[in-house]
Amino acid sequence: MTHPTETTATADDPFLWLEDIYAEKGLEWVRAENALTEDALLTPGFEARERGILEVLDSTDRIPMVGKHGDFYYNFWRDAEHRQGIWRRTTWDSYASDAPAWELLLDVDALSAAEGTEWVWGGALFLRPAEGAPHERVLVVLSPDGGDAARYREFSLATLDFVDGGFDIPTAKSRIGWAGPDALHVGTDFGPGSMTSSSYPRTVRTLRRGGDLASAEQYFEVDVDHMMALVAHDSTPGFERDIAVDTIDFYTRRTYLRQDGGWHLIEVPEDASISLHREWLIVRPRTDWTTEGTTYRAGSLLVIGLESFLAGGRSFTTVFSPDPSTSLQSWSWTRDYLLLNLLRDVSSEIRILDPGKDWSAELLDACPPLHSVDAYAVDDEDDAAGNDYWLIATGFLTPSTLHRGTIGGEHTSVKSSPSYFDEDRFTVEQHFAVSDDGTRVPYFQLAPKDLVLDGGNPTLLSGYGGFEHSMTPAYSGVIGRGWLERTTEDGRQGVYVLANIRGGGEYGPQWHHAALHANRHRAYEDFAAIAEDLMQRGVTSPALLGCTGRSNGGLLVGNMLTTYPHLFGAISCGVPLLDMRRYTKLSAGYSWIAEYGDPDKPEEWEYVQTFSPYHLLRDDVAYPKTLLWTATSDDRVGPVQARKMAAKMKDLGIGDVWFHEALEGGHAGAADNRQAARMHAMSFEFLWRALTGSL
């Protein structure tokens, strides 16, 4: 179809002042817009629904997911009592019981109160202990505002306190790992020239205990226009090694192995994903790869002995090869087996491969249709549990369950999530729409069992379509309470639809490649085709169809707003990319050129402008009601794109435009459950009232 374009020059952009994130003028504008939106949406009914969503997020009956380190199982937990969360651990027998006894390791609420900083948990990096010794040291990662920039602090599991004089790396967009008991590999902001154009570390230094960060010895560096430098130490006994990764962009990288005092390139295609596991090198090419006369298909998984490869061997074993319906999503090693998590038409399939029997494969019987099931190792180095695996199963109407099993034996349920809405009233179906170029595009429909196909049902269409990220079935009490259980005056309940459009990874790298750069429009055509299919099937009509998306999904629904406004009655656009002329200059945007293209190259701006919502806005189009929402502290996409879009829409005289910006929360839009509940409730409230005529 023909795409309207408006090539407003950057110099003529009247809303550049909103790009100064913390300038008082911009924040005054934000506060004024927030007040208008809150006045419209925050009714007593809204507050009741918000409480219902917060009950889901704060529920103490949720599965406390754990990671095993040594003899303990570690968990981070948030609820109403612990708004910022607690880090804790327990034993297996305790965890498997109905009432685990947790040992408190770190109370982030108490830490925040003591230090006067609203810390947001970012994880913990464990140091491998000496053989036979318990885990004692970790690096705790904490963000001061929920953004990507974080502080790394050494913590003792013996004293349950931060180590006096221990490692403490100041807040920055860092990539850090243990180099040994008394050293770290540190990629961080060392000052001018140490960060890439994508705002990530360009250099990695080795910091010795007691040493000064500024004078630490440089160990690895990448070009400034590459995305990021990273060094990781593999401490597996018998396979100790340093690995460096030069991430050129989101999909290309060079991986090096430290040998004989220098870095040696592992010679595989730059667009391949690789990993090292003990004696094995694992490669997943993203495009077809021909080596030594053999062509390996994009999306396949290849294995070879590392020593053989380094000696020049290229006799890979193909342990997975995709077909038109089946793609590899992830893999995990137990002590003696390799687990593959696959999608077959967006339903899970799990295979167990035995390298001791020429990589023979068996199916794990644990995957019902239209469900998502993931398997991964519990602890491949544990003498007793080396071949144990976790199994997490979920579906739109199936609360998540956590199982534990042993390869060759049975798996049993360990924990189950509670029910948060009346699932028996609904049914799940998978349908396929036909896009403009004839491609069949799957989508899931979650609807009442008594759905009347007369076009009269309020329907919410959600999607993402980028970065090879797959959208899979998952239980959500938030969607159940926030959307499905709402009822119109004539008794209609909400319908929820999840799109599996190109740009994602549902069918492997080919599905992703199909919507890159100049072909970006295919993702949007797929989404629009699903909208049209819902109408042709009688599920809904344009006035009753809303759509929602975040981040790249925000760009998706921004294009629905500007290119397909006739298909939707309301759009909720969260933490979005929208100004594709300047996205490479805002926050981490430079790192996404591999996905979208470079607007500073005239030949690429020719196609990038066709999916830049900020430049596609016109004053003679009837647009759907629109909510744009973001977070001040989002240092990945940043709040300025949503700000500028809202300001421009209002300046053009476009009505029914609302804007809201959380003053903290990072790219997730929320730093705790309370903020997340407000964000979810506001989006659902806006969409429901906009579609049903009460806004």
- The tokens describing 429, both together, are 């179906």
* CB atoms inside a 10 Å sphere around CB 564: 20
Distance, CA of 484 to CA of 486 (rounded, Å): 6
Residue 432 has a pLDDT of 98
Beta pairing partners, 280: 277, 305
Listed in order, strand segments (DSSP E) in 209-251 are: 217-221, 228-234, 241-249
- The tokens describing 594, both together, are 């591999």
Residues 6+ apart with CB under 8 A from 212: none
Are the C-beta atoms of 501 and 463 separated by less than 8 Å?
yes
Beta pairing partners, 332: 339
Distance, CA of 630 to CA of 586 (rounded, Å): 14
Listed in order, strand segments (DSSP E) in 108-166 are: 120-126, 137-143, 150-156, 161-162
Distance, CA of 111 to CA of 144 (rounded, Å): 12
Are the C-beta atoms of 534 and 459 separated by less than 8 Å?
yes
Residue 663 has a pLDDT of 82
Residue 667 has a pLDDT of 57
- The tokens describing 286, both together, are 């993203």
β-pairing verdict for 545-550 and 570-574: parallel
> For residue 640, which of 566, 593, 601, 585 has the smallest C-alpha distance?
585
In which element (H, E) is residue 211 found? Answer: none
Residue 27 has a pLDDT of 96
Residue 460 has a pLDDT of 98
Three-state secondary structure readout of 341-395: EEEECCEEEEEEEEHHHCCEEEECCCCCCCCEEEEEECCCCCCCCCCEEEEEEEE
Beta pairing partners, 344: 326, 347
Distance, CA of 213 to CA of 188 (rounded, Å): 10
What is the Cα 651 distance to its own chain's centre? 33
Q: At what angle do helices 552-563 and 521-536 cross, to 10 degrees?
A: 70
Distance, CA of 174 to CA of 147 (rounded, Å): 12
- The tokens describing 426, both together, are 């609904």
In which element (H, E) is residue 53 found? Answer: helix 44-58
Give residue for tokens 């860092």. 174
Q: How many CA atoms are closer than 13 Å to the CA of 334, on its beta-carbon side?
A: 28
For residue 547, the one-letter residue type is C
For residue 141, the one-letter residue type is V
Distance, CA of 649 to CA of 619 (rounded, Å): 8
- The tokens describing 564, both together, are 């397909």
DSSP 3-state helix, strand, coil percentages of the chain (rounded to 5)? Answer: 25, 35, 40
Distance, CA of 570 to CA of 458 (rounded, Å): 11
Residues 6+ apart with CB under 8 A from 310: 257, 264
**Catalytic residue ranges:** 551, 667
Three-state secondary structure readout of 254-318: EEEEEECCEEEECCCCCCCEEEEECCEEEEECCCCEEECCEEECCCCEEEEEHHHHHCCCCCCEE
Residue 669 has a pLDDT of 52
> For residue 125, which of 108, 138, 107 has the smallest C-alpha distance?
138
Distance, CA of 102 to CA of 557 (rounded, Å): 43
Residue 12 has a pLDDT of 83
Mean pLDDT by 10 residues, the chain (695 residues): 39 90 96 96 93 94 97 96 96 97 98 96 97 96 91 98 98 97 98 94 98 96 97 97 96 97 98 97 98 96 98 97 97 98 98 97 96 98 96 98 97 97 98 98 98 98 98 98 96 97 98 98 98 98 98 98 98 97 90 96 98 97 97 87 98 97 67 88 97 92
> For residue 199, which of 637, 552, 631, 642 has the smallest C-alpha distance?
637
Are the C-beta atoms of 501 and 521 separated by less than 8 Å?
no
